[in-house]
Structure 1
Amino acid sequence: MSNTDMSTVDPDSIGFGRIAATLPVQDMARALRFYCGTLGFTKIFENGDPVGFVILKRDGAELHLTLQKTHKPANFPVAHLMVQDANRLATLCEANGLRIVKGVRDKEYGLRAFVFEDTEGNRIDVGQPL
């Protein structure tokens, strides 16, 4: 299909499905201990030997982890997670020694929000509807 043909495609005809964040991790076992052990996600798929890719699910959230031995964390949030209780998640993160980058605050756009770094240094922006 040429570039001119693409302009005639109606995006409503595509039928989008789910989209999930993929987080790079240097240590898959450590990341799984956090996301599955601490946060209660369930591993629904894994690939590789050693495991280099997993899909995790909890409630309406889906998260993909990919093994990247040379991963250098970004200095900005790489995923946004909606929860029912931001205060409880912040407390859980702190109790597990995670860095809280921005503390829990009620925002003018209608969310109680905070940012934490997971065990791999990935920054996760958390929001709770007010």
Structure 2
Amino acid sequence: MKAFSSATVIHVNDFRSSLDYYTKVLGFTFDFEFGQYAGLFIDEVFVHISGAENPGRKKPAGSAHLCIDIDHVDDYYQRLSANGAIISVTLEDRVYGMRDFAVDDPDGNTLVFGSTIAHEIL
């Protein structure tokens, strides 16, 4: 068996508002929509947004927490700050070897964006 990709399903209360937030503020690209279910991506990372009226499996809105590795984390942080993203954790170097920050969506779902910090090899 070989796995090819993955998509995290993020449950939201206000489907339209969330779709706008993910595309206009966070910069995700729209892929598809089926009722209150939509596929989005940013480069090779896929997320699905599931609205309250979606008949599928339900999880509490605001319970998602995902981490996305990116390059140029400082530039992306500045872009999201300028776009009015809900920054819940500011951009900093972390003791665990990442430079990252976190944003929340209007329901409290958290997305962490970060890059590995280069360390000198002794």
**TM-score, normalisation: structure 1:** 0.71
Tell me which of 2, 26, 41 is aligned to 1:57.
41
Any residues of structure 2 matched to 1:23-34 within 5 Å, and which?
Answer: 23-34=10-21
Confirm or deny that 1:73 pairs with 2:59. no
Indicate the SS of the match to 1:68: coil
- Aligned equivalents of 1:66, 1:83: Cα separation in 2: 24
Confirm or deny that 1:85 pairs with 2:72. yes
- Aligned equivalents of 1:98, 1:40: Cα separation in 2: 10
Q: Which runs of 4+ in 1 moved over 6 A?
A: none
Gaps of 5+ in 2: 54-58, 118-122
Larger radius of gyration: 1
Paired AA for residue 17 in structure 1: F
Provide the residue aligned with 1:108 in structure 2: 95
**TM-score, normalisation: structure 2:** 0.75
CA positional deviation for 1:44: 1.6
Confirm or deny that 1:17 pairs with 2:1. no
Q: RMSD of the alignment, in Å?
A: 2.3
Query: Percent identity at matched positions?
Result: 25
- Aligned equivalents of 2:19, 2:81: Cα separation in 1: 18
